[in-house]
Chains A and B, each alone.
Chain A
């Protein structure tokens, strides 16, 4: 807070209540913050922390909502504004404050070409072209004539940024601008935003749940939890030496390429501790050992009698293409070309690649949801009950009207009821869920709980192979951290073979023994997870490594 009265955004004592429910929900609780011109302030927090409500409030998006009450002051570019009243916002919203949203599709007019939208702001076609060049759009002439739906996600986000910046705002609100994008694109967009901010000198309020992004982007960081500001300060201080326990936990949950993969990650987590105790193999004094860094996954590894060796999964020369196009010009898009992939018994393999690389298709083929056009797919089912999948969107993978208990019990149809109930309880305990939740429906659970239910369903009868499709990418960092810890615990305890599909090398490294990089339907390299950052040589692999923001 170097210049307290010169900020393009000054928020003081802001509280926002949603009164549509009784009791009213206090979404923002006495928050003060300032964004100076040219400064980037990160507003960091997990979902439900109130960060997006602040973002909406300072853009004047709450003025038409009924059932909203607010206290405190908001001053944008020197203008005092009431976040719940329309007065005064006219020349501010969309002019002094502009926005880049997570999903540009919802804020771009689908009926207008990019050129029309942009020229409305810039006034001339030349100027529009210049802006498209500024946001690093190749072939801006073509894009000008395109409609939003004809563009890729990254392109749309660039257009959105051009639209937001072309108005010459004093304040840019960037609300999770890269969350929906591929990691490699994400880095480019972030670089672009930083460059343009410096060029134009506008203040940026950067809202994100991603600590890595915040650290890379922001001068100052404000950490929010339950509507309150927990900690704020220069980014280096907050991430380097967090003062508050909550911030410490958040920072500790952040994965980098140097995170220790032999031990549980993050700070001691009660859910994971509970699950560890359920194994019966836990050493005494668990929590302290974890804190001291003296808790190794190896201590949970069960003695196994059977001979090691052999493969749980073997893919040889797997090829797959999909029909695309309309009635006439039916074309085939090749997704996989000659994929060879093996997962040894008790081994964990991460398959990394960006969207469209074919990694999800491999997973679906292994799961039996698709069939390969050519090649062999072999799963050694003697090692357990077939293949089970934990999907990225756990919420969508759980039938909304079935209870947790019913969903789990479906894998146990042939057992007597009593035993079935027992197994369900056991599985829930393994993933540190209260067995009482067996009566709940997915809608009543949090995101992390749903993901754990999905894992519990997968392991209620231990499968020969567990497939994980980006199981943590939709979760808040601390929740993702527990899920990764749980998966690691189960891997060691049950000796599961795992195929883990992700685009996040840092997460891949935690779970996997080996990382396979897939690009354009072919596996381009296979490296041991432990020495990934040095051994990875493929161009695509290096790009992914760069995208993990150190």
Chain B
């Protein structure tokens, strides 16, 4: 890997840390509420008191992007963790026990894998109403199979490894064998995949709220801001473009940081 890329990843980690801190404490620092108008509508960026300008209602865009970022991060984190844990549970069970259970679980996994996130989100929204929780459930529902497949493959591979056979010969069986000798080798892969996935989940959350399946207005959600603002793109470009850029930047940062993590874990393994 060329050294400039390494620098890029380091930079990504540094920027990501800044973004994380900003997202955590930023809303506290901002003098404005993200849902109460704080200025005239359609103020362009760099207006006095409004770094990124205001939207059609006069809400401060910078404040909303900060809070939207926090929501995105939190959502993505929760979704990824739940999907990873659920996927690991099912993948491990399928990979380790094998046989009929494996076949059944993997068919079920395929079934979920084939579902498009948007359709599931619509179904969930129909049942629970639109909102952040609904889109989180929907994304988790379509996201865990990826981990189940990944983990199953890794578990099957690891289960055949010599050290697992040796441990089995030592009399270690069942759950204990999996927990002690199999899963730890799967964890780094899952961690790397998850860290790379966070970017994807952020984009998916934004995409769902872009098509109106996320939290209702005036919740500061990046996808919603971009979609609601799209009609003003010609006359007030900053209203949809800045939240859109924020989504892109966030997911790029997570990708680079995830790549960095992968490089670090690979380096350790070598």
Residue in B163, B168, B171 whose CB lies within 8 Å of A398: B163
Query: Is B171's CB under 8 angstroms from A410's CB?
Result: yes
- Write the chain A residue with the least CB distance to B171: A411
Query: Is B171's CB under 8 angstroms from A396's CB?
Result: no
**Which of chain B's residues have a CB closer than 8 A to the CB of A457?**
166, 170
Query: Is B184's CB under 8 angstroms from A388's CB?
Result: no
Query: Is A402's CB under 8 angstroms from B166's CB?
Result: no
Return the CB mask of B169-188 against A: 1 if under 8 Å, else 0. Answer: 11110000000110011000
Q: Does B21 contact A (CB under 8 A)?
A: no
Query: Is B180's CB under 8 angstroms from A399's CB?
Result: yes
How far apart are the CA atoms of A454 and B169 in the complex, in Å? 12
Query: Is B171's CB under 8 angstroms from A402's CB?
Result: no
Query: Is B169's CB under 8 angstroms from A388's CB?
Result: yes
Residue in A396, A411, A413 whose CB lies within 8 Å of B162: A396
- Write the chain A residue with the least CB distance to B166: A397
Query: Is A398's CB under 8 angstroms from B166's CB?
Result: yes
Which A315-364 residues sit within 8 Å CB-CB of chain B?
A: none
Query: Is B163's CB under 8 angstroms from A396's CB?
Result: yes
Q: Does A13 contact B (CB under 8 A)?
A: no
- Write the chain A residue with the least CB distance to B168: A369
- Write the chain B residue with the least CB distance to A367: B169
How far apart are the CA atoms of A398 and B161 in the complex, in Å? 10
How far apart are the CA atoms of A122 and B208 in the complex, in Å? 63
Q: Does B102 contact A (CB under 8 A)?
A: no
How far apart are the CA atoms of A398 and B169 in the complex, in Å? 12
Q: Does B25 contact A (CB under 8 A)?
A: no
Q: Does B56 contact A (CB under 8 A)?
A: no
Query: Is A399's CB under 8 angstroms from B181's CB?
Result: yes
**Which of chain A's residues have a CB closer than 8 A to the CB of B170?**
388, 407, 410-411, 457
How far apart are the CA atoms of A402 and B162 in the complex, in Å? 14
Residue in B164, B166, B181, B184 whose CB lies within 8 Å of A389: B166
How far is the CB of A228 from the nearest CB of chain B, in Å? Answer: 28
Which A351-399 residues sit within 8 Å CB-CB of chain B?
A: 367-369, 386-389, 391, 393, 396-399
Given the known interface contacts A399-B180, A402-B180, the answer about A413 and B171 at a Cβ–Cβ threshold of 8 Å is yes
How far apart are the CA atoms of A289 and B264 in the complex, in Å? 52
How far apart are the CA atoms of A398 and B165 in the complex, in Å? 10
Given the known interface contacts A369-B165, A393-B162, A396-B162, the answer about A401 and B184 at a Cβ–Cβ threshold of 8 Å is yes
Q: How many B residues have CB within 8 A of the partner chain?
A: 16
Q: Does A400 contact B (CB under 8 A)?
A: yes
Return the CB mask of B85-98 against A: 1 if under 8 Å, else 0. Answer: 00000000000000
How far apart are the CA atoms of A386 and B170 in the complex, in Å? 10
**Which of chain A's residues have a CB closer than 8 A to the CB of B28?**
none
Q: Does B115 contact A (CB under 8 A)?
A: no
How far apart are the CA atoms of A367 and B168 in the complex, in Å? 10
**Which of chain B's residues have a CB closer than 8 A to the CB of A406?**
180
Q: Does B167 contact A (CB under 8 A)?
A: yes
Query: Is B161's CB under 8 angstroms from A410's CB?
Result: no
Query: Is A410's CB under 8 angstroms from B172's CB?
Result: yes
How far apart are the CA atoms of A337 and B167 in the complex, in Å? 29
How far is the CB of B269 from the nearest CB of chain A, in Å? Answer: 9
- Write the chain A residue with the least CB distance to B158: A399
How far is the CB of B2 from the nearest CB of chain A, in Å? Answer: 12
How far is the CB of A241 from the nearest CB of chain B, in Å? Answer: 42
**Which of chain A's residues have a CB closer than 8 A to the CB of B184?**
399, 401
**Which of chain A's residues have a CB closer than 8 A to the CB of B167?**
399, 407, 410
Residue in B163, B171, B172 whose CB lies within 8 Å of A397: B163
**Which of chain B's residues have a CB closer than 8 A to the CB of A413?**
171-172
How far apart are the CA atoms of A411 and B161 in the complex, in Å? 19
Query: Is A397's CB under 8 angstroms from B180's CB?
Result: no
- Write the chain A residue with the least CB distance to B269: A400
**Which of chain A's residues have a CB closer than 8 A to the CB of B171?**
386, 410-411, 413
Pick the most buried of A367, A410, A411, A457: most chain B CB atoms within 10 A of its CB.
A410
Query: Is B169's CB under 8 angstroms from A396's CB?
Result: no
Query: Is A391's CB under 8 angstroms from B166's CB?
Result: yes
Pick the most buried of B163, B166, B180, B184: most chain A CB atoms within 10 A of its CB.
B166
Query: Is A387's CB under 8 angstroms from B180's CB?
Result: no
How far is the CB of A410 from the nearest CB of chain B, in Å? Answer: 5
**Which of chain A's residues have a CB closer than 8 A to the CB of B161?**
396
Return the CB mask of A402-418 against B: 1 if under 8 Å, else 0. Answer: 10001100110100000
How far is the CB of A275 from the nearest CB of chain B, in Å? Answer: 22
How far apart are the CA atoms of A413 and B162 in the complex, in Å? 21
How far is the CB of B156 from the nearest CB of chain A, in Å? Answer: 16
How far apart are the CA atoms of A400 and B181 in the complex, in Å? 9
- Write the chain B residue with the least CB distance to A387: B169
How far is the CB of B1 from the nearest CB of chain A, in Å? Answer: 13
Which B226-252 residues sit within 8 Å CB-CB of chain A?
A: none
How far is the CB of A430 from the nearest CB of chain B, in Å? Answer: 17
- Write the chain B residue with the least CB distance to A411: B170
- Write the chain A residue with the least CB distance to B164: A399
How far apart are the CA atoms of A369 and B163 in the complex, in Å? 13
**Which of chain B's residues have a CB closer than 8 A to the CB of A398?**
163, 166
**Which of chain A's residues have a CB closer than 8 A to the CB of B180?**
399, 402, 406, 410
How far apart are the CA atoms of A368 and B165 in the complex, in Å? 10
How far is the CB of A366 from the nearest CB of chain B, in Å? Answer: 11
- Write the chain A residue with the least CB distance to B183: A401
Query: Is B169's CB under 8 angstroms from A389's CB?
Result: yes
How far apart are the CA atoms of A400 and B167 in the complex, in Å? 12
Which B117-136 residues sit within 8 Å CB-CB of chain A?
A: none
How far is the CB of B141 from the nearest CB of chain A, in Å? Answer: 32
How far apart are the CA atoms of A125 and B163 in the complex, in Å? 48
Query: Is A402's CB under 8 angstroms from B169's CB?
Result: no
Query: Is B165's CB under 8 angstroms from A400's CB?
Result: no
Would you give 14 A-B contacts (Cβ < 8 Å), ordered by A? A369-B168, A389-B169, A391-B166, A393-B162, A396-B161, A396-B162, A397-B163, A398-B163, A399-B167, A399-B180, A402-B180, A407-B167, A407-B170, A457-B170
Listed in ascending order, the chain B residues whose CB lies under 8 Å from chain A are 161-172, 180-181, 184-185
Listed in ascending order, the chain A residues whose CB lies under 8 Å from chain B are 367-369, 386-389, 391, 393, 396-402, 406-407, 410-411, 413, 454, 457
Q: Which 3 A-B pairs have the closest CB atoms?
A: A397-B166, A396-B162, A399-B163
